[in-house]
Chain A
Amino acid sequence: VRSCVEPQIEEDYQAVNVDLQTDATLQVDISDALSERDKVKFTVHTKSTLPNFKQNEFSVVRQHEEFIWLHDSFVENEEYAGYIIPPAPPRPDFDASREKLQKLGEGEGSMTKEEFTKMKQELEAEYLAIFKKTVAMHEVFLCRVAAHPVLRKDMNFHVFLEYNQDLSVRGKNKREKMEDFFKNVVKSADGVLVAGVKDVDDFFEHEKTFLLEYHNRVKDASSKSDRMIRSHKSAADDINRIASTLYTLGTQDSTDVCKFFLKVSELFEKTRKIEARVAADEDLKLADLLKYYLRESQAAKDLLYRRGRALVDYENANKALDKARAKNKDVLQAETSQQVCCQKFEKISESAKQELIDFKTRRVAAFRKNLVELAELELKHAKGNLQLLQSCVGVLKGDT
């Protein structure tokens, strides 16, 4: 099954708006995306007045791996230790959708033409939804970077935006993946250790406890919302199937009750579309928001970890300096090291404070926007549904 969809990215599909200050000096968006067999090609479109770009407006084609590369380069850059690195977009996952489409193709013979068409449309719609979501998440990442006062000036980022050739980044090989894994294990073990250290700064102490709790809860909420939406979708699917069975029942002959079935089928067909939209919108406005903040809070936690690490390093350096002084041995070296650690810690603390305040502002704004939109959409759908039901019940009652 060649599943090549070329969607025009809709304006309203900016799923997680993280409320970035709009800055005309650098505007990045994904103008187009193309799904091929196992990869998605994003057309990254940039508009900028910054002097280090050759042109004011340009587009390049980028793949998911290149986004990851960009993200990793930020993470690995010591310079950015004091910033919340925008979370990397999740890997596009069309496997489930593709599989379903493939299965559908295999089962083509076993169902009626209407059923097949309907199923195909549904799967395509599902595919398209995932696709759009993927694109939106990649775009959000770029926008976040572009809006960041420091990261926007990053050379790698500029290369990413401007270099119109393949960046020839490759995916991590097995060894690197293993290394990453161990690094993560060490990091999380260290994180627990670091987190146990009482912070001298009340602000950071508070942020630490908050983020630890918040992250866990947003994680929980995210998975719960996923589950909720999944069952909502299943219910919508059931209504869909009920509608088609009612249709079959209704077409058996042309008695009164069959006409009745047809009408009810028609109604269900419409309501299930609405139900599916409700589920999709909840997914978009609620689940995606939570998912984004799951990653963003993780990024913030990482920042705190880095700061905590720096603090521990600083304290260790202090201890080492004290020891060196006591022993009067390698004092200079210890002093230098203490100085370095102190500077690093202070630098991180300085930017981290602002970053965390920004994070909160962004979060509140994003939640506000999404929750308002969610409520509005829920209302819109419920009203549409109500209207459908009312008119249908009216018609049916008139008939009987």
Chain B
Amino acid sequence: MTFEEYSCRKQRGTGRGGRPCRNQWDTRGGMFMKEPIGYSVREAFLQMQECPQAGTPRIVGCSCTLLFEPMATSSERSPPPFPEDLEPEPDEVGDQDSDDGEDIFLGADNPLEIKMDHSLPASDIASSTKPLSEASSAPVMDILSEPASEAFSAPMMNLLMEPASETSSAPMVDLLMEPASETSSAPMMNLFMEPASEASSGPMVDLLMDPASDDLKEPPKPDINPLADIINDAPLSEVKTPVAAMTQEPPSDLFDDEPSELFAEPRQSNTAKQQQTSIFDEPDEDLFSEPLGEALKKPQNDVFKEALAPVAKASNVCGPLSDNYNEDPTDIFTEEAITTLPSAVSTVSVNSKTNGVHSDEEEPDIFAEATVELSLDSPRNDRKKKEAAKPSASASAPSVSASASKPQPKTLEELDEEIEDKFELNISITNPEKVGDGMNAYMAYKVSTQTTLPMFRSKTFTVRRRFSDFLGLYEKLSDKHTLNGYIVPPPPEKSIMGMTKVKVGKEDNSSAEFVERRRAALERYLQRVVFHPSLLQDPDVREFLERDDMPRAHNTQALSGAGFLKMINRATDSLSKMTIKMNESDVWFEEKLQEVEAEDQQLRKLHIMVDSLVGHRKELSVNTGGFAKSVAMLGSSEDNTALSRALSQLAEVEDKMEQLHQEQAASDSFCFAELLADYIRLLGSVRASFDQRMKTWQRWQDAQNMLQKKRETEAKLLWANKPDKLQQAKDDITEWEAKVTQYERDFDRVSATVRKEVLRFEKEKARDFKKQIIKYLESLLQSQQQLIKYWEAFLPEAKAIA
């Protein structure tokens, strides 16, 4: 694991369980995303009740009903993975009603009335305000958090890191052209060609026009929902300021509306203002304070600040930053436009899927890898945004930035490494050597690394490792990375049979073949590990490659041979059991898992057949050898000289064929069967990563159920009017809400990782299969050429029989 990742995780950790979450919930700052809906629903509800003069009990009754009512809405509105979309919201409402809102509801009728007044128009446009408010608030959030951390630093850092390198900048443009073409290529180009070009101001206006105009339809909202809207509008207004500078009309409307609305209800705005400040501080603080002090986050912070500043000034002097800033919002806005429609959720997830697949298919060149990474990122982030845009993901600002910043540096690494990797890290395993005697003997392999990667101490180095070290490495990597949904390449299985033969010291063909097979398998395993950008960064990998005195790995027995297979099978079983329980939200995962399972089955079948071919080919070789001897004998007893000679020639041909078949069997086995065995093992890891995603989902669901229970308890307490226990219940809720949020984020993160990993795996698989099978076909081709040679030499001999 890299330094960056560690830091990311740390950041996430605090963002998840620590202060920011509590802040959000306490201040309800985190709720701003949700509340518009909450309010509109409530408004509609109140309207239905038709009790404008409703007294306290009525209201309490309402809020109690609301506890359950929106839940029903949620179940029909949102897909299973986000069933709590609206859940926190009624609580908020309840909270407000009982805590902060006590004054409002119990003490004063006035605000209530105002609310009711506004509720009428609001509820009229309830359906439209909902998406609008989301559309307008979410983009802002995203602009603030995501582009800054994400899209920005990737190209930015690239530029900073390799500012003048022709070779790298060329592919970079290529790389970024891809995703750019999906949205708008112009700003993209600008980013690289002319950081401070003016052309980019055009799109910017357009971009910002959209949300601005959207927002213009919102005037009634500040009244209905002062808290949320102020928060919505506040950042918006920042963004809109530049718009105002460029386009006069909309902002003026906005400014006309906003203050007037705000100040129309002094009382509300008072509380609102308090909220606003705190809310406003906190997300910012989260964003800025947490990443601070972390070397890699720093540029991001700068970026972020810079990005905000120029935009506020309505000038894109900052060049790449603002350009990029422009570019990304397009994405966000366009995406948002789709995603905010509640019904479009599933479509979008499909969208993002096709995005990934699409870009995957298109790329034939070497740099495709990197390109895909980028374009992969965007659908994932889109997904995130979409989720964030939903009311539930109220904490989007800090959370998204936190989680987005995590894959972010990796994307960077990948860009660099996928390119570098191919040329700058070669690993070979050679000289298998038996160490020791008897049953304590083991094979040691020479692991040579050749690299120009700066992370290694020298350019070439060699270590000696034994098989269990490889298993140990896998265990370490698996422990660390499987949890996060990574596909950790599995090592070859332990073979007691094969190894015993070697240990006993039988110097026959099969044990030599075994050693060679294992050597090759270990080499491929290690290459797969270092080819994985995240695993390469792991200190254990480095240690494995570099360190001279490797501590002996223990407890690798559990992973040996059948045990390993059993483990995979068990995982598969539990997986299939769980699949029934899991109401899969994402068609992509469902389909992929099915694909993987079907493929696994077919590959197993194929492997058995190729094994059988290897067996038959070996048999053929042996039998051809036997026949060759027989023919030689027959020739020797034949008393016609020419025929005798021809027969001994035939025997020679058959002898060579024996050799040929043997070689072919070896290449069947090494090129084809081993490839299949590798991929059967790898598919086990793929399934494990799906399994991991499932587990994370389960944990999240469990937490949600728990939260639900806690809420019910609270409602009961509320109803029973037991304030002494209420605080405990509230604390519990807060705790579980935080957990739910955290687990959901975990799930999203693991999902994203699994998705990325699977795509990466598929790409690698395609490449591997092509390479190996072509190699295999070439071996077949060669044997045919040999065959022709042999028979051509024989033909005149046969004709010479007289």
Chain B, residues 777-788, CB within 8 Å of chain A (1/0): the string is 110110011011
Assess whether B280 is interfacial by the CB under 8 Å rule: no
CA distance A252 to B591 in the complex (A): 11
Assess whether B582 is interfacial by the CB under 8 Å rule: no
Residues of A within 8 A of B770 (CB): 257, 260, 396, 399-400
Assess whether B616 is interfacial by the CB under 8 Å rule: yes
Stretch of A32-40, A72-80, A179-187, A384-392 with 4 or more beta carbons under 8 angstroms from chain B: A384-392
B601 and chain A: residue at smallest CB distance: A248
Decide: B765 and A217 in contact? CB cutoff 8 A.
Answer: no
Shortest Cβ distance from residue B759 to the other chain A in the assembled complex, whole angstroms? 11
CA distance A235 to B769 in the complex (A): 22
A237 and chain B: residue at smallest CB distance: B616
Chain A, residues 319-337, CB within 8 Å of chain B (1/0): the string is 0000000000000000000
CA distance A217 to B644 in the complex (A): 13
B765 and chain A: residue at smallest CB distance: A257
Shortest Cβ distance from residue B678 to the other chain A in the assembled complex, whole angstroms? 15
Decide: A220 and B801 in contact? CB cutoff 8 A.
Answer: no
Stretch of B225-233, B404-412, B789-797 with 4 or more beta carbons under 8 angstroms from chain A: B789-797
Stretch of A140-148, A191-199, A371-379 with 4 or more beta carbons under 8 angstroms from chain B: A371-379
Decide: A392 and B630 in contact? CB cutoff 8 A.
Answer: no
CA distance A305 to B105 in the complex (A): 125
CA distance A375 to B801 in the complex (A): 13
Interface size of A by Cβ–Cβ distance < 8 Å? 58
Decide: B788 and A382 in contact? CB cutoff 8 A.
Answer: yes
Decide: A238 and B612 in contact? CB cutoff 8 A.
Answer: yes
Decide: B777 and A386 in contact? CB cutoff 8 A.
Answer: no
Decide: A371 and B627 in contact? CB cutoff 8 A.
Answer: no
Decide: A386 and B781 in contact? CB cutoff 8 A.
Answer: yes
Assess whether B114 is interfacial by the CB under 8 Å rule: no
Assess whether A108 is interfacial by the CB under 8 Å rule: no
Residues of A within 8 A of B643 (CB): 363-364, 367-368
Assess whether A397 is interfacial by the CB under 8 Å rule: yes
Stretch of B157-165, B194-202, B602-610 with 4 or more beta carbons under 8 angstroms from chain A: B602-610
Decide: B640 and A231 in contact? CB cutoff 8 A.
Answer: no
Assess whether A303 is interfacial by the CB under 8 Å rule: no
B interface, how many residues as a size bin?
35 or more
Decide: B784 and A386 in contact? CB cutoff 8 A.
Answer: yes
Shortest Cβ distance from residue B181 to the other chain A in the assembled complex, whole angstroms? 20
Assess whether B706 is interfacial by the CB under 8 Å rule: no
A263 and chain B: residue at smallest CB distance: B773
Given contacts A228-B623, A252-B602, contact A245 B609 (CB under 8 A): yes
Given contacts A217-B633, A221-B634, A245-B602, contact A256 B627 (CB under 8 A): no
Shortest Cβ distance from residue A392 to the other chain B in the assembled complex, whole angstroms? 6
Assess whether A167 is interfacial by the CB under 8 Å rule: no
Decide: A224 and B606 in contact? CB cutoff 8 A.
Answer: no
Which has the most chain B C-beta neighbours within 10 Å: A225, A242, A260, A375?
Answer: A375
CB contact between B613 and one of A239, A264, A378, A386 (< 8 Å): that residue: A239
Which has the most chain B C-beta neighbours within 10 Å: A256, A260, A397?
Answer: A256
Given contacts A231-B620, A375-B798, contact A241 B788 (CB under 8 A): no
Residues of A within 8 A of B781 (CB): 386, 389-390, 393
CA distance A228 to B629 in the complex (A): 12
Residues of B within 8 A of A267 (CB): 777
Assess whether A253 is interfacial by the CB under 8 Å rule: yes
CB contact between A382 and one of B357, B647, B784, B798 (< 8 Å): that residue: B784
CA distance A253 to B596 in the complex (A): 12
Shortest Cβ distance from residue A208 to the other chain B in the assembled complex, whole angstroms? 13
Shortest Cβ distance from residue B384 to the other chain A in the assembled complex, whole angstroms? 26
A399 and chain B: residue at smallest CB distance: B770
Residues of B within 8 A of A252 (CB): 595, 598-599, 602
Decide: A228 and B606 in contact? CB cutoff 8 A.
Answer: no
CB contact between A228 and one of B624, B762, B771, B784 (< 8 Å): that residue: B624
Assess whether A360 is interfacial by the CB under 8 Å rule: yes
CA distance A227 to B766 in the complex (A): 38
Residues of A within 8 A of B629 (CB): 224
A389 and chain B: residue at smallest CB distance: B781
Assess whether B774 is interfacial by the CB under 8 Å rule: yes
Shortest Cβ distance from residue B762 to the other chain A in the assembled complex, whole angstroms? 8
Given contacts A242-B609, A245-B606, A379-B795, contact A368 B361 (CB under 8 A): no
Residues of B within 8 A of A374 (CB): 798
CB contact between A372 and one of B620, B624, B798 (< 8 Å): that residue: B798
B622 and chain A: residue at smallest CB distance: A231
Residues of B within 8 A of A257 (CB): 762, 765-766, 769-770
Decide: A392 and B795 in contact? CB cutoff 8 A.
Answer: no
Assess whether B707 is interfacial by the CB under 8 Å rule: no
Residues of A within 8 A of B774 (CB): 393, 396-397, 400
CA distance A214 to B635 in the complex (A): 9
20 CB contacts below 8 A, A to B, read A214-B638, A217-B637, A221-B631, A227-B623, A231-B617, A234-B616, A235-B616, A235-B620, A246-B606, A249-B606, A257-B770, A363-B640, A367-B643, A371-B650, A371-B798, A375-B795, A383-B788, A393-B778, A396-B773, A400-B774
The 3 closest A-B CB pairs, nearest first, are A238-B613, A368-B801, A257-B766
> Which chain A residues have a beta carbon within 8 Å of chain B's beta carbons?
210, 213-214, 217-218, 220-221, 224-225, 227-228, 230-232, 234-235, 238-239, 241-242, 245-246, 248-249, 252-253, 255-257, 260-261, 264, 267, 271, 360, 363-364, 367-368, 371-372, 374-376, 378-379, 382-383, 385-386, 389-390, 392-393, 396-397, 399-400
Known: A224-B626, A367-B647. 19 other contacts (CB 8 A): A225-B630, A228-B627, A231-B619, A231-B623, A235-B613, A241-B609, A255-B766, A257-B765, A257-B766, A364-B802, A368-B646, A368-B802, A372-B798, A375-B794, A379-B792, A379-B795, A386-B781, A389-B781, A392-B777
